[in-house]
Structure 1
Amino acid sequence: MATPEKIYFMRVALGVIGGIIAGFAIAPEFDHGTSVGIALAIAVALFGVSIGVSRSMSKGLSKELRKKAGYDGLVPFIFMNIVFMVLVYTALHQPPILR
């Protein structure tokens, strides 16, 4: 049986993974709208996966805890997604500082 903490940290890990994927997927040639669309599509897809996983992980929990587990960890998911997307994108596309 999963605890709400495991679901929370699973969602944090998926936010990190989604940010890394988005950082690699976005190219400097893309315009702003395309970049935002790619980042949002990756985040929504991984959050959908996390909802399915959290529902299967919370089968043995009470109804109140199952309802909470559905969206527990949403803010850290979004935060980690954005942070790692920016870090990976910057690391990949930063011009060399020293020449």
Structure 2
Amino acid sequence: MPTCQNCGKKWSWFDSIKKLLTFRKSMKCNHCGKIQYQSVSSRNTISLIVLLPIITIPFTVMFDLSLFSVLLLEIALILVALFVMPLFLKLTNNEEPLW
């Protein structure tokens, strides 16, 4: 779970997923109220996790899976991605450029 760089308190899984799904660059700590930013390595890792369900679509077509199987697989992968994303969230005090 991510830890606030100002107060040092860990964020809960629910708070982390709520902050990630707002799609804002800055995230406010619930404990101290200071602004936190997602680190570059965290942004890159979470981007790859989010792409996982999309990347599997060509393989489902290649193996000629039924529509029901494809939908089940995609829903399962989306749920796994949602549950795993907060585990890779790392916070910084300063906004870092991607490159």
Task: Give the TM-score normalised by structure 2.
Answer: 0.40
Higher relative contact order (CA 8 A, sep 6+): 1
Which structure has more strand as a fraction of its residues?
2
Task: Give the TM-score normalised by structure 1.
Answer: 0.40
Which structure has more helix as a fraction of its residues?
1
